[in-house]
Structure 1
Amino acid sequence: MATSSTSSARPAAQSPRSLSGLLPFVRPYWLAIALALLFLTLAAAATLLFPVALRHLIDGGLVSADKGQAAMGLRGYFVQLFGVAVALGVFSAARFYLVSWLGERITADLRNAVYAHVLRQSPAFFEHTQTGEVISRLSTDTTLVQTVVGSSLSLGLRNAVMGIGALGMLVWTNPQVMLQVLLILLLVVVPSTWFGRRVRRLSRASQDRVADASAIATEVINAIPVVQSHTAEAREASRFADATERAFGTAVRRTRARAALVAFVIISTAALLLWGLYQGTQAVLAGSITPGHLGQTVVYTIILAGAVAVLGEVYGDLLRAAGASERLMELLATESPIRSPAQPVNPPWPEGGSAVLFESVDFRYPSRPDDPTLRGVSLRVNPGETVALVGPSGAGKTTALALLLRQYDPQGGRILLDGAPIDGMDLQHLRQRIGIVPQEPVIFSGSALDNIRYGRPEASDAEVRAAAQAAYAEEFIERLPQGYDTFMGERGVRLSGGQRQRIAIARAILKNAPLLLLDEATSALDAQSERMVQAALESAMRDRSTLVVAHRLATVQRADRIVVLDHGRVVEQGTHAELVALGGVYARLAALQFQT
């Protein structure tokens, strides 16, 4: 129930450079970016032309001595202003569309990349990263990135172009005044940078606290029946409230710092504007510039001041998005230790079942490095043979199946499938050769048809129905409201435990792999259903190898061979009769179960 370690505090970088991790997602759309930059520049240029047109209007149309000529000239000047406005509107609309499209497209690509990367992680990844943490990064963090790419970044670039252009025009027309303005501008930028660094650190911390709350919510909502059965609703609500309060407290500190940044930028830019205006009025009074020149200077000063203010806001957005980008890049940089080799060696597909060989396998779970789960396990399954793994809880039975599926790699020894080491095979090829019925079957929120063909999506409806019949699932599926097209509900909440298990068995039968793994495949069935499904499984096990994990020994008595695990070691092997006669671990387990 602890929060993810990935949400712990980390040293934050001192600039928005973390956004550079987005470059691989930006490069494919260079043409759209170039067009957006072109329209952005044209829109900024149109804005910068407005003060020039205004100067002409004032000096040529309002200050002229000939009133008739001035009236005629005003029309032309207003037409110029309207032309500038039309150009600004068209270029701004084109820029807005392209930038918004880029924001949506890049964010979608980023979400897809992160999700696909997470799906390739080994179970070891989820031993230290909670599901809610991943969901938070997929939703909240990518939304922040979308805000920057689709809005703030464009706004910042546009204002940067306009600010530089306005500054250039002011330096050209009023060089002495602008030297003083530049000094004031430096006094604005330096403190803003310091404020920005603090905002960024607090933004990262705020996103981590939100992820903690999401992790708690995801964990608890997925276990609602357990929570309610232990009357823990109030306790869990309080735990979530504590997490959201911590997120709120961090967000308040971030907002306070950003508010101080905004106030400083607005006050300093207002001072910048008023200083420029004061110097301009003094120049008009001295007769060194015309009123139109003053109007032009005022507008350029307003554009410069507005650009600085907007850039301060955008910088805050960039810093916040940099924290989100860091978290996403961390996730994308996580490398799964379980990968396909560069040059895989895949053995031919066997006809009569696969051969499995464990050679002195040692294994410890990454989260429990000091607690060996398997110790020197050697095990052989011949083609077409059914081998049962039994033993006390924690003996390593399910772990052996996880290693065979290469969800983990052993620390010692090796595992061979059909004569080839599984770590030298292509991962997809390896797992396509194995069908599995897990102890806790997973039902997806689709139809019964989709759930059964999950492992073989190209299967026809007739093949799906045949697999359901073999698993004795058809009789309850046809009683559902829409039969095979019935929506199963999230995690199969509309089905009983036994029905979910029969769906999982039908899925494994349809996959028709040469190796079948059964992990307590009948544990959730009543006696009548178990007899039916056991008969179906025995039929499904023909012409393939089967490795069965079971606690209920009645289900494995007819196995070709029974392997007994205890404390991670193979302690006995043989048939049911041989092991009972041996009087060891299996005999004691059998005596307890059958006497009961």
Structure 2
Amino acid sequence: MVRWGGERWWRFTIRRRRGGWGFCCGGGLRWRRLWRRWGELVMSERSDVQGFLLGLVRPYWSRLLAGGLLLLVSAAAMVALPQLMRAMFDTALQSGDAAGLFWLALYMWLVVVLMAVGTMVRSQLIAVTGLKIVLELRQRLVAHLLTLEVGYFEGVGSGGVVSRVQSDTLLLLDLIRNHVPMLVRGVFLGIGVLVGLLYTSWYLTVVLVVAVLPLALLGWIVGRRLRDLSRTQQDNWYEFGRLVAELASQMQTITAFGLQRVVRGRLEENFAKAYGVAWWRIVLNSGTLSLNVLMGFTALIGVVWLGGLEVMRGEMTLGQMMAFLLYLAFAADAAGNVAAFWPAWQEVLGGSERVVALLKRKPLLVEAAQPVHLPVAKGGRRLELRGVDFGYAVRVGELALREVDMVVGAGQKVALVGPSGAGKSSVLRVLQRLEDVAVGEVLVDGIDVRQVGLAELRRQFALVAQDSPLFNATVAENLRMVRPEAEEAELWRVLRLARAEVFVRALPQGLATVVGERGVQLSGGQRQRLAIARALLADAPVLLLDEATSHLDSENEREIALALEEAGRGRTVVVIAHRISTILDADMIYVLEAGRVVGRGRHKALLRENEVYRGLAILQGVG
């Protein structure tokens, strides 16, 4: 039995067996613990992420196998080169055989041509496959993002979404296109080179392997640290993307308030964090590289010295020595390929964690197992809230609506008024089931919205929000988002109703004019009119207006009010109004304060009986 440090490393036993005595040996406690610990480490090393990555490449196994075979051919060709060189030195040069020297040189050139052709085909095959895998992953991410509730995007922000879909997937593309082929090449070449080294001189090969083992251990240790740094750096890039997206979307506010210094300070703080992480990565990489160079050249010098002694003693030919040195160069190349993979793999693991977490995130809005279909709408929909409590997912512990009871009759025009933060927009949110209520029911024609398919439910509503940004597309494309089959005549009809026809005809290309990102080429009032026209084109039974006329001047507001009155005929209309003068004709007005309904009725009755409503009316000069 062998012991070290008080623990048994190996044991030897002699046991009596049937027919005689037998000798056996087995691993001690320390070896078994090391093996078990190594297995736990490998299996727990982001097994979900590794399984996810394997699932991505599995459909393309045939392409990857073909690429691997080409790498095998290339590695085999490289392994043959030192033996051809050995023959040149030990046979052709020693005997002065010029013809033999020519043919050996020709064979070497053909081997190089084979390597070049294989590399070209393999590079194209793997690159195209990697691109397909990453594009498929991005499509999956986008498709999954579209199933998530609005609250997720409000919590993560646009920068976080862009980082997950773009930056994290680029790491995977680089791994598939560059590092995986180099790893496979390094493994194949390393095996072939090891065989070649052993065949040429087993003694020098043993010396070389002993010298390389510490480098492998060092690479494993450094790689684990690089993985953590990579995850931190990806978080920094996510924050940077969020800040830049915020800068781009809020540039007018930044300029108007002179916030350039504040924004620059926030970006510089992010740069400083990113620089600190990048600095440590550079230090680790450069330090590891320097140590690899030092130990590698030390091993090379030692091998040359020992090999020289072998040649001087006549135990090794000059051709064998040259072949061994060439194999040694190939071994360094293979080791570099394998070593470069480990940090890259750790980076991909760090970046892929967020991708996997996103794909594993279940939508908070669950579709009904057997959705109930709504009856055909006749003159709008009847909407009802019964004892509703609602809080936003990003505001844990806060309720935006408390014990809200509300009824909107089919074909009615109902207005919601109240101070800022009263919960008016939250009512529209739960009606469309953008988020689920915590307590109570939301009903459409007497059916709980949770029992209706999400797509069918959303088709019942056309929303014009306080800020309705447009897509970076033409006027016609923005309108047809809700009805792709709409004819041009229908577009002009809704533009006319929304009082947008005149300015659209005056645009350089009319309906074909690109409005820019979020509609920046148009004024605020023009954007709002196009949003109203889009809602009218949707032809939904329920029209939701979230302060839809807030960006318009008094004259245009009156025109839009008349247009919306015409468009609301035969529909249910729910209006959030900041100007009481626009809802005097409402069939019912609900007054909200601090998430509760504190009054309901028509304008004149509320003016007499409700203090909150009367205060708002007095502030606006409405009697």
Q: What range is the shorter-chain TM-score in?
A: over 0.9
How far 1:189 moved relative to its partner?
A: 0.8
**2:92 aligned residue:** 61
Summarize the Cα distance change of 1:359–1:21 in structure 2 as closer, same or farther, 3 Å threshold. Answer: same
Aligned mates of 1:364, 1:582 — CA distance in 2: 29
Aligned mates of 2:193, 2:445 — CA distance in 1: 74
The answer to whether the Cα contact below 8 Å between 1:276 and 1:301 also exists between their aligned partners in 2 is no
Which moved further from structure 2: 334-343 or 514-523?
A: 334-343
Which moved further from structure 2: 33-42 or 55-64?
A: 55-64
Structure 2 residue corresponding to 1:42, chosen from 73, 87, 104: 73
Q: 1:481-500 to 2 correspondence within 5 Å?
A: 481-500=508-527
C-alpha RMSD of the superposition? 2.1
**1:97 aligned residue:** 124
Aligned mates of 1:456, 1:219 — CA distance in 2: 31
The answer to whether the Cα contact below 8 Å between 2:185 and 2:337 also exists between their aligned partners in 1 is no
Alpha-carbon displacement from aligned partner over 1:426-449 (angstroms, at most 9, x marks no partner): 222211221100011111111111
Summarize the Cα distance change of 1:340–1:506 in structure 2 as closer, same or farther, 3 Å threshold. Answer: same
Alpha-carbon displacement from aligned partner over 1:489-521 (angstroms, at most 9, x marks no partner): 221122121111110100000000111111111
Aligned mates of 1:564, 1:233 — CA distance in 2: 40
Structure 2 residue corresponding to 1:358, chosen from 367, 380, 385: 385
Aligned mates of 1:580, 1:234 — CA distance in 2: 48
Given the alignment of the two structures, is residue 257 of structure 1 paired with residue 288 of structure 2, yes or no?
no
Structure 2 residue corresponding to 1:73, chosen from 100, 109, 118: 100
Structure 2 residue corresponding to 1:383, chosen from 410, 418, 440: 410
Alpha-carbon displacement from aligned partner over 1:21-64 (angstroms, at most 9, x marks no partner): 32332222222111111111111111111112222222221122
Summarize the Cα distance change of 1:199–1:370 in structure 2 as closer, same or farther, 3 Å threshold. Answer: closer
Given the alignment of the two structures, is residue 205 of structure 1 paired with residue 232 of structure 2, yes or no?
yes
**1:220 aligned residue:** 247
Q: Residue type of the partner of 1:26?
A: V
The answer to whether the Cα contact below 8 Å between 1:137 and 1:328 also exists between their aligned partners in 2 is yes
Given the alignment of the two structures, is residue 29 of structure 1 paired with residue 60 of structure 2, yes or no?
yes
How far 1:16 moved relative to its partner?
A: 7.9
Alpha-carbon displacement from aligned partner over 1:136-172 (angstroms, at most 9, x marks no partner): 3333322222211111111121112101221122224
Structure 1 residue corresponding to 2:394, chosen from 355, 358, 367: 367
**2:268 aligned residue:** 241
Aligned mates of 2:73, 2:247 — CA distance in 1: 53
Alpha-carbon displacement from aligned partner over 1:427-476 (angstroms, at most 9, x marks no partner): 22211221100011111111111112222222222211111111111111
Q: Any stretches of 5+ residues in structure 1 without a counterpart? A: 1-12
Q: Secondary structure at the match of 1:525?
A: coil
Given the alignment of the two structures, is residue 406 of structure 1 paired with residue 433 of structure 2, yes or no?
yes
Q: Secondary structure at the match of 2:621?
A: helix
Q: Any stretches of 5+ residues in structure 2 without a counterpart? A: 1-42
Structure 2 residue corresponding to 1:186, chosen from 213, 217, 225: 213
The answer to whether the Cα contact below 8 Å between 2:390 and 2:438 also exists between their aligned partners in 1 is yes
Aligned mates of 1:369, 1:213 — CA distance in 2: 26
How far 1:342 moved relative to its partner?
A: 3.6
The answer to whether the Cα contact below 8 Å between 1:265 and 1:308 also exists between their aligned partners in 2 is no
Aligned mates of 1:320, 1:31 — CA distance in 2: 26
Q: Residue type of the partner of 2:171?
A: L
**1:567 aligned residue:** 594
Alpha-carbon displacement from aligned partner over 1:298-337 (angstroms, at most 9, x marks no partner): 2212211221123222322222232222232233233321
Alpha-carbon displacement from aligned partner over 1:104-123 (angstroms, at most 9, x marks no partner): 22222223322333333223
Which moved further from structure 2: 505-514 or 413-422?
A: 413-422
**2:299 aligned residue:** 272
Aligned mates of 1:220, 1:570 — CA distance in 2: 38
Q: Secondary structure at the match of 2:400?
A: strand
**2:40 aligned residue:** none
Aligned mates of 2:622, 2:597 — CA distance in 1: 25
How far 1:411 moved relative to its partner?
A: 0.6
How far 1:256 moved relative to its partner?
A: 0.7
How far 1:20 moved relative to its partner?
A: 4.3
**2:583 aligned residue:** 556
Aligned mates of 1:404, 1:583 — CA distance in 2: 25
**2:327 aligned residue:** 300
**1:6 aligned residue:** none
Given the alignment of the two structures, is residue 325 of structure 1 paired with residue 352 of structure 2, yes or no?
yes
Q: Residue type of the partner of 1:572?
A: G
Structure 1 residue corresponding to 2:169, chosen from 142, 167, 174: 142
How far 1:541 moved relative to its partner?
A: 0.9
Q: Residue type of the partner of 2:74?
A: A
**1:164 aligned residue:** 191
Q: Residue type of the partner of 2:90?
A: D
Which moved further from structure 2: 87-96 or 197-206?
A: 197-206
Which moved further from structure 2: 476-485 or 412-421?
A: 412-421
Q: Secondary structure at the match of 2:91?
A: helix
**1:288 aligned residue:** 315
Which moved further from structure 2: 500-509 or 105-114?
A: 105-114
How far 1:269 moved relative to its partner?
A: 2.5
Summarize the Cα distance change of 1:15–1:183 in structure 2 as closer, same or farther, 3 Å threshold. Answer: farther
Aligned mates of 1:278, 1:458 — CA distance in 2: 81
Aligned mates of 1:514, 1:398 — CA distance in 2: 19
The answer to whether the Cα contact below 8 Å between 1:395 and 1:566 also exists between their aligned partners in 2 is yes
Q: Secondary structure at the match of 1:414?
A: strand
Summarize the Cα distance change of 1:85–1:370 in structure 2 as closer, same or farther, 3 Å threshold. Answer: closer
Summarize the Cα distance change of 1:395–1:351 in structure 2 as closer, same or farther, 3 Å threshold. Answer: same
Q: Secondary structure at the match of 2:480?
A: helix
Summarize the Cα distance change of 1:303–1:16 in structure 2 as closer, same or farther, 3 Å threshold. Answer: farther
**2:38 aligned residue:** none
The answer to whether the Cα contact below 8 Å between 1:132 and 1:212 also exists between their aligned partners in 2 is yes
Given the alignment of the two structures, is residue 546 of structure 1 paired with residue 601 of structure 2, yes or no?
no
Q: Secondary structure at the match of 1:133?
A: helix
Q: Percent identity?
A: 34
Aligned mates of 1:118, 1:97 — CA distance in 2: 31
Q: Secondary structure at the match of 1:200?
A: helix
The answer to whether the Cα contact below 8 Å between 2:581 and 2:622 also exists between their aligned partners in 1 is no
Which moved further from structure 2: 253-262 or 320-329?
A: 320-329
Q: Residue type of the partner of 2:211?
A: I
Aligned mates of 1:147, 1:217 — CA distance in 2: 24
The answer to whether the Cα contact below 8 Å between 2:422 and 2:595 also exists between their aligned partners in 1 is yes
Summarize the Cα distance change of 1:345–1:57 in structure 2 as closer, same or farther, 3 Å threshold. Answer: farther
Q: Residue type of the partner of 1:143?
A: L
